[in-house]
Structure 1
Amino acid sequence: MTAALPEHIPPTDWMTAAPTRAVLAALGAGGATVRFVGGCVRDAILGLKPDDIDLATPETPDVVIRRLEKAKLKAVPTGIAHGTVTAVAPPGTFQVTTLRHDVATDGRHAEVVFGTDWAADAQRRDFTINALYADADGRLHDFTGGRADLAAGIVRFIGDPERRVAEDYLRVLRFFRFHARFAKGEPDAASLAACAAAKNRLDRLSGERIRDELLKILALPNAAAALGLMYQSGVLQALLPEARFEPARFDALVDLQRAVAASGGVEPEVWPRLAVLLVPGDAGPAREGLADRIADRLRLSNAQRLRLNGLLAPPTFDIAALADDTAFSEILYRCGTERCRDQLLLLASVAPEQQDVVIRRAVATATWQRPIFPLRGADILALGFSPGPTVSALLNDLESWWVAGGFRADREACLKRLRARVQTTAEGP
């Protein structure tokens, strides 16, 4: 016997919070209908807290703005051409969109006309589970079968999958992300086929849009499920031709990240997961300039580019060095905690037998404080040296001695070593 689908959702904290009530009251002035829509309704049905609160109304954007301002709420015309206004009711923001339907699309942008038909508005959305509406009291409105799909764990496009994809090719990436988050079994065949068929058109998407969606996929607890489907369908290679998905290695990395977090280390991050797609477990082809090519393609920030360069560079140590505390401290000092942790995870993803020591060392990076070398160039100049390479060489030599000694020498000991080193240099052979 099939369980009855819900007709209502119990109003949750975010639905009844004062900022939400203020926005609903402002938009509903004069008897206008306002409903929650999309992901927030889907998540409420599942008992999850939504990241964003979206609202829909038949009122046009100018009316929405006027009513918000009359209620002393800030209105920001964030997507006015598509009917979207951001309502600011501190501490929250709400995306308010006028009911609409598409009149033209090119795979990236759509021309829309505003309307009053809730069912028509639902038909232009991407997936059935994202086309759910709810009144302020929690009464649900479902025009596409989203409740049944959500209960069954099926992510499917509304109507003709190929048409939905052609309207916005970013929906290909969104399909894999939502499948990994909400599906309970095999992917919807028609939806998957439409995504695979569109792989050669993904170059129409901007690097920023691909980057944002790809990083969201990599951050998922079940990222491997999405990446596996993307690789099998050819979508991943269309986005990153250099990528090669090795399920065992990716799973090993994710397991290590979770173990590190569970032991008090940092939470799992996306960058090692991206890197493991780009550096195969075997030697692979030359990777010269790979990080910069990926950074250019995905429009990464300078900090993200540096992080990826560090991940894809040849490792500066091997796992055998982890057994010795002094050697590991030197690695941390030379590499920095972030790069050291990144290298630990990537090395261990192909050497699972070393995972215990890797986890212990990776956890240690979260709290390790870099010691401060007690000397500066001024200390050498004070002995009569002129600025130049001799000063740098002496300083580097002394720092290496200090590091090799486990950072134990204090300033006085380092100065004594400096004076002895200078004397030896002055006496010559």
Structure 2
Amino acid sequence: MKIPPDANFLHDENAQKLMRILNDHEQDSTRFVGGCVRDAILGRKIKDIDIATKIRPETVAKLLDEKKIRFVPTGLEHGTISAILGGRAFEITTLRKDVATDGRRAVVEFTNNFVEDAMRRDFTINALYCDECGNVYDPLGQGVDDINSHLLKFAGIAHERIAEDYLRILRFFRFYAQLGNFTIDLDGLNACQDLCAGIKSLSRERVWMELKKILGAPLPHPTLNLMDEYHCLQTVLPFEYQLENLIRLAEIEEGADFTLRLIAILPKSIRIIDELAENLRFSNAEKKRFSEWAKFDETINAQNIHANIYYHCNQAIYDNLISQYLMGDGAINDLINIAKNFKAPNFPINGNDLKIAGLQDGPELGKKLKELEKKWVKSGFELTKAELLGA
């Protein structure tokens, strides 16, 4: 089988340059691998271009250095070097086989055998290689057939692949969500259910990264339902959630906002947000958005929306309008447009203005400033500076 001739890495000068350098050093030592091969066969957009080679990493580094190609030893202990060409990184990884695994990390040994390298990969559709001319190599003899059958399946024995790295449970569901039109292997699902407790041993950052990708897929609802059915979602979100809200959310959402989708299924509880922020290692920006949503407890309507945007922010009001919609409030389209587009004005006076007007610095000045601000907001932001100071 050959890769479709329009696959971008077959025409990428920098990718082909790297292949020539490595294959000139050792004939037929180096091939494209994994996602770029898979996505080319599927006719999907290709993002990363990864390369697998028999050549050991220290020799790869020497060859790149001789050609004045900048590189970064991104994972040297695991055989990975990133060559930087044309403003992008190409990961070059020496063929490996696992010597020992503990469900989180592996001790690897370099090999010159493509079959051994393929056997340590997660899914059959990722255990594919091709040369610079687009000839496909399928060492396990299953990847091409599974792509053609649109079947997502672990390479080898599912329980063994998962036990090597429990993150593969979440990757299994993530690939299913992102591929969209694939069937998911039943043996793999059963293995995920049997071993889902292993997710707890993973770093929280890695778990959150995978969950975000699942939530950000075009249609995450079927995948999350499967995760729930096979008791994997509860390991990540250990509280009551409302997956059916994603169906209703799909009627009005614009784009694939993983934060909004998680908000849609979460109980509205600052305690749960704090727990999740700790358990999943939210970024500061993520925690702020979730917290502002959870703390807001007012029903938003046409009379109070502008004031609420002023006191809070557009995003918090938008998120809470979505919550109102999910609870049955269907008349929010105009309010959503306001939440997205209204720019709150700046309060026209400050403490110095009040001091010039004769007020002494201290608690009374702050109290007066808040009183005038409240009056200004209640006026629909229409009172002028002169009118406020004359009040």
Counterpart residue number, 2:387: 416
Deviation at 1:146, TM superposition (A): 1.2
One of 308, 312, 316 as aligned partner of 2:290: 308
Alignment of 1:20-419 (within 5 A): 20-32=15-27, 33-144=29-140, 145-182=142-179, 184=181, 186-247=183-244, 249-257=245-253, 261=254, 267-279=255-267, 287-318=269-300, 321-322=301-302, 324=303, 327-351=304-328, 353-354=330-331, 357-358=332-333, 360-409=334-383, 413-419=384-390
Deviates more, 1:149-158 or 1:176-185: 176-185
Q: Residue 125 of structure 1 contacts residue 158 of structure 1 at CA under 8 Å; is this kept in 2?
A: yes
Letter in 2 for 1:339: A
Deviation sequence 1:81-121 (CA, Å, 0-9, x none): 11111111131101111111111100011111111111111
Alignment partner, residue 427 of structure 1:
none
8 Å CA contact retained: 2:306, 2:344: no
- Does structure 1 conserve the Cα–Cα contact (< 8 Å) formed by 2:270 and 2:291? no
Question: What amino acid is the match of 1:216?
Answer: K
The offset of 1:191, in angstroms, is 0.2
**Residues 97 and 185 of structure 1: CA distance in aligned 2, closer, same or farther (over 3 Å):** closer
Change (3 A) 1:138 1:174: same
How far, CA to CA, are the matches of 1:408 and 1:188 in structure 2? 62
Asked if 2 retains the 8 angstrom alpha-carbon contact of 1:22 and 1:89, the reply is no
What is the rounded CA distance, in whole Å, between the counterparts of 1:400 and 1:314 in structure 2?
A: 18
Normalised TM-score (structure 1): 0.86
Q: Percent identity?
A: 34
Q: Secondary structure at the match of 2:74?
A: strand
d(CA) in 1 for partners of 2:7 and 2:182? 29
How far 1:376 moved relative to its partner? 0.8
Amino acid at match of 1:161: A
CA deviation profile, 1:299-347 (whole Å, cap 9, x unmatched): 11222111111222243333xx13x4xx322222122111111111122
Query: Aligned partners of 1:183, 1:396: CA distance in 2, in Å?
Result: 53
Is 2:2 aligned against 1:7? yes
- What is the SS of the residue equivalent to 1:29? helix
Paired residue type of 2:378: A
Q: Which runs of 4+ in 1 moved over 3 A?
A: 183-186, 363-367
Contact 1:150/1:182, CA 8 A, preserved across alignment: no
Unaligned runs of 5+ in 2: none
Give 3-state SS (helix, strand or coil) of 1:87's partner: strand
**TM-score for the superposition, normalised by structure 2:** 0.94
Structure 2: distance between partners of 1:8 and 1:270: 33
d(CA) in 1 for partners of 2:277, 2:235: 16
Q: SS in structure 1 opposite 2:250? A: helix
Deviation at 1:278, TM superposition (A): 2.1
In structure 2, give the amino acid aligned to 1:384: G
Where do 5+ consecutive residues of structure 1 fail to align? Answer: 1-5, 262-266, 281-286, 422-429
**1:415/1:313 CA distance change after superposition, 3 Å:** same
CA contact (8 A) 2:296 2:320 kept: no
C-alpha deviations, 1:199-226, integer Å up to 9, x for none?
1121110101101111111100121121
Q: Distance in 2 between matches of 1:101 and 1:183?
A: 31
Whether the aligned pair in 2 keeps the contact of 1:84 and 1:98 (CA below 8 Å) is yes
Conservation of the 8 A alpha-carbon contact between 2:14 and 2:85: yes
**1:159, distance to aligned residue in structure 2 (A):** 0.9
CA distance in structure 2 between the partners assigned to 1:136 and 1:399 by the alignment: 67
Q: Is the 8 A contact 2:103 2:162 kept in 1?
A: yes
Q: 1:148 to 1:373 in 2, by over 3 A?
A: same
Q: Secondary structure at the match of 1:353?
A: coil
DSSP-derived class of the 2:109 partner: strand
Contact 1:170 1:210 survives alignment (8 Å):
yes
CA deviation map 1:374-419 (0-9, x unaligned): 111111011221222211222122222222222223xxx3323322
Is this contact kept in 1: 2:50–2:92, CA < 8 A? Answer: yes
- Whole-angstrom CA distance in 2 between matches of 1:27 and 1:347: 58
- Paired with 1:102 and 1:86, the residues of 2 have a C-alpha distance of 21
Q: Does the 8 A contact of 1:155 with 1:183 survive in 2?
A: no
Change (3 A) 1:45 1:25: same
- Provide the rounded CA distance (Å) in 2 between the counterparts of 1:63 and 1:136: 20
Cα RMSD after superposing both structures = 1.8
Change (3 A) 1:13 1:183: closer
SS in 1 for 2:129: strand
The one-letter code sitting in structure 2 at the alignment partner of 1:197 is D
Assess, with a 3 A threshold, how the Cα gap between structure 1 residues 245 and 173 changes in structure 2: closer, same or farther.
farther
Deviations 1:154-180 (A, max 9, x none): 110011100000000000000111112
Q: Say whether the 8 Å CA contact 1:153–1:183 is kept in structure 2.
A: no
Residue pair 2:36, 2:48 contacting (<8 A) in 1 also: yes
The 1:226–1:417 alpha-carbon spacing in structure 2 relative to 1, beyond 3 Å, is same
